[in-house]
């Protein structure tokens, strides 16, 4: 046991002191910040890009009702269309619009023609269509002499306020909760997926390195293979946790510093640009008026006493299962990475499947596939975190944890049996059948 910690210490220190680790740990928050700033700036610039449109309005509707609409600037001309076609680009307009007369108030469609020197984007055209359409609607309302207040009252804003009944009568309610839950679930699921893949494979490479450098036998003449493997898995896992912890501190700090120094940039603009699954939620928040108090309130309302410990256990369980399998693969193959790939495929499949289920679980955390994925031990470490913020039944969590721990113990045992034999095996092409035999070696 003591020796396992000596191995752990070396595996940890060697990696943490590596230049690549230090660079990655610092660079990733900067890169994420740069991405956030960059995309926010691009979307801000895109939004501000003004378009000038010259209109020959034979219907008189657009001219009468409304002029500028957001970033669209309309100007009107009465010269002949042929003449305008010659000059509009030269006069600095992006688009020439011709609106023919509109005789019939009841008509449901109306053809409008445009001319542009450069092919305009679909979104730009969409905005123009929308602006002209708005003007036509206003015109129709006015011309039909409908009471505007009455007309406006036809529109009703529906706010879905759900009340999930929790176990202890403690329930989180409101749309804000599900927005937060979705965000949190997505982040946890993606994090888990990345950690398992990146650090699991780091363990594999480390085992392969030991085999290639021929130090394996020297090592296991002093340390039990099981302790060597476990020390390695723990060491690499601790490296992962260290990196995550640093990022958790560094990313918000970098974000905050940037928002202080770049005018017109706020955190919500950046996060809406950088966190894809949260984009819709953020937009909805903005539309409703961003109520920070409500978010904070909901944030504290989430069942953290269940979420945090479960997340940690799922994290460790998932990591141990996959890292030990990757260690076994690393021990079974020689230098040949291609050979390793053959064994990695069956290990990767459940991880990828879990990721797919997790993504659908974010949409629908109580679907039967999500429930299955969150209990089945090979997928639960990735799927369950996405369900946790939505107060799943406690027995789901307990059953899932139980299965996870049992599976973890089984896989660590299984991998240790393979590792023990594989680490001393050279120059032999290993098959699955061979691996099966190793399990029963003395």
Partner 1 sequence: MSILSIQQVSKSYRNVVAVDAVSFDVPRGALFGLLGPNGAGKTSLIRIITTITAADSGVIYFDGEKLNSSHPEKIGYMPEERGLYRKMKVGEHLIYLAQLKGMSSADAKKKLLAMMERFEITSWWSKKVEELSKGMQQKIQFISTILHEPKLIILDEPFSGLDPINTNVIKDEISALNQKGITVIFSTHRMEQVEQICEYLVLINKGKNVLQGKVNEIKDTFKEGIFRVSSDGAMNGNLNGLNILSQSANELMVKADTGHSPNDLLRDLLNRGITIRGFEEVKPSLNEIFIRTVKSLDDE
| Residue 353: CB atoms within 10 Å | 16
User: 209 or 336, CB closer to partner 1?
Assistant: 209
Closest to partner 1 by CB, 219 vs 403, is 219
Distance of alpha carbon 407 from alpha carbon 400, whole angstroms: 10
Considering only 68-76, 115-123, 209-217, 317-325, which stretch makes contact with partner 1 by CB under 8 A?
A: 209-217
* Nearest distance from C-beta of residue 220 to partner 1, angstroms: 6
Least gap, CB of 359 to partner 1 (angstroms): 38
CB of 426 to partner 1, least distance (A): 7
Retrieve residue 86's tokens: 């010659």
Cβ 19 to partner 1, closest distance in Å?
11
Segment near partner 1 (CB under 8 A), from 89-97, 207-215, 239-247, 300-308?
Answer: 207-215
Residue 205 binds to partner 1 (criterion: CB under 8 A): no
Of 411-440, binders to partner 1 (CB under 8 A) are: 424, 426, 437
Question: What is the closest distance, in whole angstroms, from the C-beta atom of residue 7 to partner 1 in the complex?
Answer: 8
Structure tokens at 382: 């990735």
Give 115 or 226: the residue with its C-beta nearer to partner 1.
226
Beta-sheet strand order (sheet of 51-57): 72-76, 51-57, 95-99, 113-115
Element (H, E) at 248: helix 225-261
* Residue 217 binds partner 1 (CB under 8 A): yes
CA distance 375 to 369: 10
8 A C-beta contact, residue 326 and residue 204: yes
Q: Considering CB under 8 A, how many residues would be counted as binding partner 1?
A: 23
The residue (of 79 and 335) whose beta carbon lies closer to partner 1 is 335
Q: Smallest distance from the beta carbon of 1 to partner 1, in angstroms?
A: 12
Q: How many helices (H) and strands (E) does the chain have?
A: 18, 4
User: What is the C-alpha to C-alpha distance for residues 400 and 384, in angstroms, rounded to an integer?
Assistant: 8
If one asks whether residue 20 binds partner 1 (CB under 8 A), the answer comes out as: no
Sorted by sequence, the CB contacts under 8 Å of residue 55 that are 6+ apart come out as 62, 63, 74, 75, 76, 77, 96, 97, 98, 99
Rounded to an integer, what distance in angstroms lies between the CA atom of residue 397 and that of residue 394?
5
Helix (H) or strand (E) holding 114: strand 113-115
Q: Angle, to 10 degrees, between the axis of helix 175-212 and the axis of helix 304-332?
A: 20
**Candidate list 65, 77, 219, 295; residue touching partner 1; CB under 8 A:** 219
Long-range CB contact pairs, 232-235, < 8 A, 24+: 232/7, 232/8, 232/11, 232/203, 232/206, 232/207, 232/327, 233/203, 233/319, 233/320, 233/323, 233/324, 233/327, 234/4, 234/8, 234/11, 235/7, 235/8, 235/9, 235/10, 235/11, 235/12, 235/15
- Mask of contacts with partner 1, 242-271, x by CB under 8 A? ------------------------------
Residues 372-411, one symbol each (x = binds partner 1 by CB under 8 A, - = not), give: ----------------------------------------
Report helix, strand or coil for 366: coil
Stretch that binds partner 1, among 87-95, 206-214, 294-302, 308-316 (CB under 8 A): 206-214
With CB under 8 A as the contact rule, which of the stretches 38-46, 212-220, 307-315, 334-342 interacts with partner 1?
Answer: 212-220
Q: How far is the CB of 223 from partner 1 (least distance, A)?
A: 5
Among 78, 213, 293, 368, binds partner 1 (CB under 8 A): 213
Minimal distance, residue 432 CB to partner 1, in Å: 16
Q: Which is nearer to partner 1, 191 or 223 (CB)?
A: 223
Q: Under the rule (CB under 8 A), what is the footprint of partner 1?
A: 3, 6-7, 10, 14, 210, 213-224, 424, 426, 437, 441-442
């Amino acid at each position: 046991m003591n020796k396992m910690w000596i191995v752990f210490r070396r595996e940890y220190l060697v990696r943490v002191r590596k230049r690549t680790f230090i660079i990655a740990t610092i660079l990733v928050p900067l890169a994420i910040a740069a991405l956030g700033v960059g995309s926010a700036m691009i979307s801000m610039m895109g939004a501000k890009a003004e378009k000038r449109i010259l209109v020959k309005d034979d219907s008189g509707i657009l001219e009468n009702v409304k002029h500028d609409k957001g970033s669209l600037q309309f100007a009107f001309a009465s010269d002949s269309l042929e003449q305008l076609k010659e000059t509009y680009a030269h006069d600095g307009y992006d688009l020439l619009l011709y609106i023919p007369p509109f005789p019939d108030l009841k008509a449901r469609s109306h053809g409008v023609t445009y001319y542009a020197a450069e092919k305009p984007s679909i979104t730009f055209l969409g905005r123009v269509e929308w602006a002209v359409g708005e003007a036509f609607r206003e015109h129709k309302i006015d011309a039909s002499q409908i009471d505007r207040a009455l007309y406006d009252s036809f529109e009703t804003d529906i706010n879905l306020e759900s009340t999930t009944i929790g176990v202890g009568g403690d329930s989180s309610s409101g749309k804000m909760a599900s927005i937060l839950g979705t965000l949190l679930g997505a982040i946890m699921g993606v994090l888990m997926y990345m950690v398992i893949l990146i650090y699991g494979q780091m363990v594999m490479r480390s085992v392969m390195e030991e085999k290639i450098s021929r130090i394996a036998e020297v090592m296991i003449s002093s340390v039990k293979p099981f302790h060597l493997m476990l020390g390695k898995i723990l060491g690499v896992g601790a490296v992962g946790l260290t990196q995550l912890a640093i990022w958790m501190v560094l990313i918000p700090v970098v974000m905050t510093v940037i928002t202080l120094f770049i005018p017109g940039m706020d955190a919500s603009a950046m996060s809406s640009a950088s966190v894809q699954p949260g984009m819709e939620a953020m937009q909805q928040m903005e539309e409703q008026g961003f109520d920070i108090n409500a978010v904070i309130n909901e944030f504290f309302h989430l069942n953290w006493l269940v979420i945090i410990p479960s997340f940690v256990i799922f994290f460790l369980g998932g990591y141990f299962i996959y890292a030990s399998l990757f260690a076994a693969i690393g021990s079974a193959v020689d230098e040949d990475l291609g050979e390793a790939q053959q064994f990695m495929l069956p290990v990767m499949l459940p991880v990828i499947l879990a990721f797919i289920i997790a993504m659908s679980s974010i949409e629908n955390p109580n679907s039967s596939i999500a429930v299955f994925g969150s209990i089945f031990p090979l997928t639960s470490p990735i799927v369950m975190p996405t369900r946790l913020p939505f107060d799943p039944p406690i027995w789901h969590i307990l059953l899932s944890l139980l299965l996870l721990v049992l599976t973890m113990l089984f896989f660590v045992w299984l991998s240790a049996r393979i590792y023990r034999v594989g680490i001393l095996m050279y120059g032999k092409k290993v098959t699955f059948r061979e691996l099966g035999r190793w399990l029963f070696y003395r």
